[in-house]
Structure 1
Amino acid sequence: MNKSRYDGMTLNERLFVAGLLEKFDDALSAGDQDALVDLLVTVNADSSLATTLLGESYACWYCNESISKTKGSALKIGLKGLWSENPDPEPTQLIYAHFECANSLLKGATMEVEHEDLFPEPDDI
């Protein structure tokens, strides 16, 4: 088993021991996700924690990166068992994904995810 020098420490303790606590606080205040991810990785913390710390509660199902409202298209994908006996027409589980990730991984034999259908230009509405 690979033991880390940070095992058993809280995130703040890890950052303090590494001398990165002030940089982390500055990156958090600035909303700098890239800097937060770099700092989290440096102290062996899960980089997806940056999403939670910044209040962006959506992470891509495929790549586990944050889904930002300002960076590209995103999807909410509803799942329900094919032969589900639940009479509720709504999906029983939702997953979230970057359009690009879903498009590259949800290739069908005869269909593909259509960006134009999901995200029409304002003139098309």
Structure 2
Amino acid sequence: MTEFQGEVIKCYFTQPIVLGSSRDGPHLQPPKREKQFLISPPASPPVGWEPVEEAEPVINYDLIAAVASLAPGESHELHPPMEDKPGIIVHICEEADNPDGPKPQIIQTRRPQSST
């Protein structure tokens, strides 16, 4: 709190932070070369290595049918809450009327008036 031309203002006094020495400038220096080791991967796979076949994806058609049957705009309780666990409720979004139209704008919230 400092008075300046009849007004009391909040002031913060700092000193510049100097990194490195003055001969190197105000920038950080790279690490010394003694600790830099590059480890290259092997040129070929080990003897006897074979690629693993990926499994087919598992499609749960019951789950897909259940999600498709949910009505937009309604809440659906999948799992009721227990004494120490929360319940699981799914809210299905409604489809947009005009997906190619203008996007809704987010209105900027005004900053509250300061008391000082």
- TM-score normalised by structure 1 residue count: 0.20
Larger Rg: 2
TM-score by length of 2: 0.21
Q: Which has the higher contact order (CA 8 A, sep 6+)?
A: 1
